[in-house]
Amino acid sequence: MIEPRAHAVKGGTPTLRIRDLSIEFSRRRGDDLRVVDRVSLDIWPNEIVGVIGESGSGKTLTSLSAMRLLPKRARIVQGTMYLDGTSLHDRTERQMRELRGDRIALIPQDAMQSLNPTLRIGRQVGEPLELHSGLSVAAAREAARKLLQSVHIRQPEQRVQEFPHEFSGGMQQRAMIAMGLALNPQLIIADEPTTALDVTVQAQVLRLLREIRDDKGTSILFITHDLGVVAELCDWVYVMRYGRIVEEGPMRRIFTEPRHDYTRMLLDATPSIRDVRKVQV
Amino acid sequence: MSRDKIVLDGLSKVFQQRRFFRASDGLVAVSDVSLSVPSGQTLGIVGESGSGKSTLLRMILGLIRPTSGTILIDGQDVARMPRHDEKDFRRKVQPIFQNPASSFNPRQTIGAILRAPLEVHGIGDRHSRRDRVVALLEQVGLPADYAKRHPHQLSGGQKQRVAIARAVILKPSIVLADEPTSALDVSVQAQILDLFRRTREEMGLTSIFVSHNLAVIRQVSDTVAVMRLGRVVEAGRVDDIFSNPQNEYTRALIDAVPDHAAVINRPERIATT
């Protein structure tokens, strides 16, 4: 039923494997609310996987659970998660902290809110290296300069001295990506990283993510509500609705022959710039 | 008199920035924009952040005063409008904003929000106003008992339906919309665009629709103006601009839009090893 996966390695292990994950929110009144319901997904090395869904579909919670960064009132009620074949389930908070940044990096939607306004960019981008690799401040600063260069920020030697507010939105997002790349993670979780950006800047960020995958073989989990971005970037797609995966498949097939009604509805509802056909309600 | 309902001629807006002990050059938000909208048509204004598209719309709404240039609506100069005509102007020209949650009073009911324009303009009595509110709710696809609800009890799409109802309750001839679907999920966006188109046709509205989303602009507009750094770089019929852009920036903008429909026609990319 599900197609063979181009990036799946024979006899190998996926970078991230989630099986039967359910997440519930405790509520002051009434029963617990199930927001993620028996979700299973795989991300293989060298693969860009898209998780697409509208608001409330559970796409962000599913991805945050892999880093165990769920909000306080949410808890995992069942399911297993494996990072590169080893279970994430019985890790202590201390062990998780070592994994974050080192093996898994998160690129959030709003870079401005995630950057510390009082610290210079160089300090922040180099911080993972100070904390995880024990680099000196000066060595981390030099590494930060190289990282900024790798995400195509011009004049990085001056830029490391600047504060976040001196960066444009696209540059802030690229600085976040640079920070995520610092420790060469196996998996990048990107949660709507281009939603707040102008289309021309978005195109640059998408190109950069593809470049990272091509150069380093990094696995990328890309969360979005934008079908166009998925079409541009992803190899494999999961479609989520009301906490469930309703369909998965290779990107091309999802767009050319959607199997689930909801996927079809999403495709029909999304206007295209090349297509004058009116959107379906 | 020309048939054009809205005519903008050489419109500019310079914001003075205050700096200590320094003369400021001012920020040119809109620069020398000339556009016109024929009666019953929709002009789409598209541009990236900072292109001046919202400033332009706010000038036409009379919310900010242009630095230079003129705005003619039905041949009348908006800036030189006598005070007693202002109320008529407000009745004729109505806005729809991006975030209806912040343009509604959270303590009022939907009914009170919709009734307010009728009361301000002294239209009808209590009974006829109530009937009109119910009729409008129905027109935008909401049940009549929603009049008793408060804004926070409505979803984003429902709030935007109320915003459309409020915009048209005075039977305006012009509706100016600023990113009305940007905060909505695509399935809801499709419904709101459909409602916008239907309302426009039923009421014979002339409209300007501002958006950063090129695909949405293509859906709703007859003509389109592409803005960049305060200037209109290209304007024309929507199909011409999208299928055969002449300006380099327009081309770059269209190329940058990731498009799901393109997948179907694109040759398969060879998987990287």
**Nearest residue on chain B to A257, judged by CA atoms?**
B264
Q: Does A270 touch chain B (CB under 8 A)?
A: yes
pLDDT digit string, tens, across residues A86-114: 998 888 988 998 888 889 999 988 888 88
Residue A169 in domain: no
Quote the pLDDT of residue B263.
77
Question: d(Cα B107, Cα A86) in Å, to the nearest integer?
Answer: 53
| Partner-chain contact A252 B268, CB within 8 Å | yes
| Partner-chain contact B260 A228, CB within 8 Å | yes
| Partner-chain contact B262 A231, CB within 8 Å | yes
- Is the pLDDT at B150 greater than 90? The verdict is yes
Residue B22 in domain: yes
Identity of the highest mean pLDDT range in A137-151, B178-192, B230-244: B230-244
CATH number at residue A254: 3.40.50.300
Mean pLDDT of B91-112: 90
Quote the pLDDT of residue A108.
86
Residue B272 in domain: no
**Nearest residue on chain B to A267, judged by CA atoms?**
B260
pTM: 0.86
Question: d(Cα B112, Cα B119) in Å, to the nearest integer?
Answer: 10
Selecting from A225, A231, A267 the residue whose C-beta is nearest the C-beta of B258 gives: A231
Residue A254 in domain: yes
Question: Which residues constitute the domain of residue B81?
Answer: 4-265
Report the C-alpha dihedral over residues A91, A97, A100, A106, rounded to 10 degrees: 110
| Partner-chain contact B260 A231, CB within 8 Å | yes
Question: d(Cα A212, Cα A174) in Å, to the nearest integer?
Answer: 12
CATH number at residue B239: 3.40.50.300
Q: What is the number of structural domains in chain A?
A: 1
Selecting from A46, A202, A273 the residue whose C-beta is nearest the C-beta of B242 gives: A273
Candidates A273, A276, A279, partner chain B, best to mutate (most B CBs within 10 A):
A273
At A213 the three-state DSSP class reads helix
CB contact at 8 A, A246 and B155: no
- Name the pLDDT band for A260 (thresholds 50, 70, 90): very high
Residue A101 in domain: yes
Q: In chain B, what is the straight-line distance between the N-terminal and C-terminal CA atoms, in Å?
A: 66
pLDDT digit string, tens, across residues B17-56: 766 666 667 789 999 999 999 999 999 999 988 899 999 9
| Partner-chain contact A226 B252, CB within 8 Å | no
pLDDT digit string, tens, across residues A7-36: 888 788 999 999 999 999 988 888 889 999
Helix, strand, coil % in chain B, rounded to nearest 5 = 40, 25, 35
Residue A214 in domain: yes
Residue A48 in domain: yes
- Is the pLDDT at B272 greater than 50? The verdict is no
Is the pLDDT higher at B79 or at B45?
B45
Quote the pLDDT of residue A113.
87
| Partner-chain contact A269 B272, CB within 8 Å | no
Look at the block and give the residue holding tokens 């091309």: A252
At B79 the three-state DSSP class reads coil
| Partner-chain contact B259 A252, CB within 8 Å | no
Question: d(Cα B59, Cα B40) in Å, to the nearest integer?
Answer: 21
Phi-psi sector, B229: left (phi>0), alpha (psi -120 to 50), beta: left
* List of residues 6+ apart from B109 with CB closer than 8 A: B147, B148, B149, B150
Interhelix angle B110-120/B156-168, nearest 10 degrees: 20
| Partner-chain contact B263 A252, CB within 8 Å | yes
Burial bucket for residue B55 (CB in 10 Å: 0-12, 13-18, 19+): buried
| Closest CA relative to residue A125, chosen from A57, A62, A171 | A171
Residue B96 in domain: yes
Q: What tokens does A166 get?
A: 């001196």
Q: Which residues of A touch B239 (CB under 8 A)?
A: 276
Cα A130 to Cα A127, A140, B75, B189, distances in angstroms = 5, 6, 67, 45
ipTM of the complex: 0.80
Q: Which residues of A touch B191 (CB under 8 A)?
A: 281
For chain A, what is the mean pLDDT? Answer: 90
Q: Where are the beta strands (DSSP E) in A54-212?
A: 74-83, 86-87, 104-107, 187-191
| Partner-chain contact A54 B185, CB within 8 Å | yes
* List of residues 6+ apart from B263 with CB closer than 8 A: A231, A251, A252, A255, A256
Candidates B259, B266, B268, partner chain A, best to mutate (most A CBs within 10 A):
B259
Q: Which residues of A touch B49 (CB under 8 A)?
A: 169, 198
| Partner-chain contact A55 B185, CB within 8 Å | yes
CB-defined contacts A:B, below 8 A = 107
Question: d(Cα B53, Cα B55) in Å, to the nearest integer?
Answer: 6
CB contact at 8 A, A19 and A74: no
Q: How many Cα atoms within 13 Å fall on the side-chain side of residue B264? A: 13
At B2 the three-state DSSP class reads coil
Largest CA distance in chain A: 58
Question: Which residues constitute the domain of residue A62?
Answer: 16-110+187-269
| Partner-chain contact A229 B262, CB within 8 Å | no
Q: Does A234 touch chain B (CB under 8 A)?
A: no
Candidates B226, B260, B264, B272, partner chain A, best to mutate (most A CBs within 10 A):
B260
Selecting from B186, B257, B264 the residue whose C-beta is nearest the C-beta of A255 gives: B264
* List of residues 6+ apart from B58 with CB closer than 8 A: B64
Q: What tokens does B20 get?
A: 């200590």
Residue A117 in domain: no
**Nearest residue on chain B to A258, judged by CA atoms?**
B264
Q: What is the number of structural domains in chain B?
A: 1
Look at the block and give the residue holding tokens 């990328």: A220
Quote the pLDDT of residue B19.
64
Residue A140 in domain: no
Q: What tokens does A58 get?
A: 């559970």
pLDDT digit string, tens, across residues A150-206: 888 889 999 999 999 999 888 898 999 999 888 889 999 999 998 888 898 899 889
Mean pLDDT of B229-251: 95
DSSP state, A80?
E
Residue B270 in domain: no
- Is the pLDDT at B271 greater than 60? The verdict is no
Residue B273 in domain: no
